Amino acid sequence: MESLQHDLAKQITNYHSVWSKLLANTNFGNYASSLWNVTLKPEDVSVNRDDETFKFQHANFQFDVEVGLSFGDDHSLFTKQVSGQGTFQFIDANIIKLKTLILN
């Protein structure tokens, strides 16, 4: 189970399309973000092997905001705690693939 939680945590944090969408839907006004990162501890992922579903909590979505006219003028870092759920499938006995990821 620990390996499954670890694999899911890694795939969740690397599911770029969902995290990019969250960033795009964050209202920065006239400002922009140039980088983001997601961290999630495997123990914060609960797994239902039978249904091939999972839930997670306490993912840290970190992003920066550039508020100056030029790169590096004024740089602020923000963290948003995120939870969510999704589905996965077993490719074989040792490999899983994340199918869906929904943020709450």
Tens of pLDDT, residues 1-59: 689 999 999 999 999 999 989 988 887 767 777 789 999 999 999 999 999 999 999 99
Please name the residue that has the structure tokens 């030029």: 70
Measured over the CA atoms of residue 5, residue 44, residue 81 and residue 89, the dihedral's sign is: positive
Q: Quick check: helix, strand or coil at residue 8?
A: helix
Residue 70 reports pLDDT greater than 90: no
Q: What is the pTM of this model?
A: 0.86
| Residue 67 phi, psi dihedral angles, 5° rounding | -105, 0
Question: What pLDDT, on the 0 to 100 scale, is given for residue 71?
Answer: 57
Task: Decide which of 78 and 32 is more confident.
Answer: 78
Residue type, 23: L
**Of residues 26, 25, 16, the one with CA closest to residue 101:** 16
Task: Decide which of 70 and 92 is more confident.
Answer: 92
Question: What pLDDT, on the 0 to 100 scale, is given for residue 40?
Answer: 98
In whole angstroms, give the CA distance from residue 32 to residue 95. 37
In whole angstroms, give the CA distance from residue 43 to residue 4. 10
* Region for 66 from its dihedrals, namely left if φ exceeds 0, alpha if ψ lies in -120 to 50, beta otherwise: beta
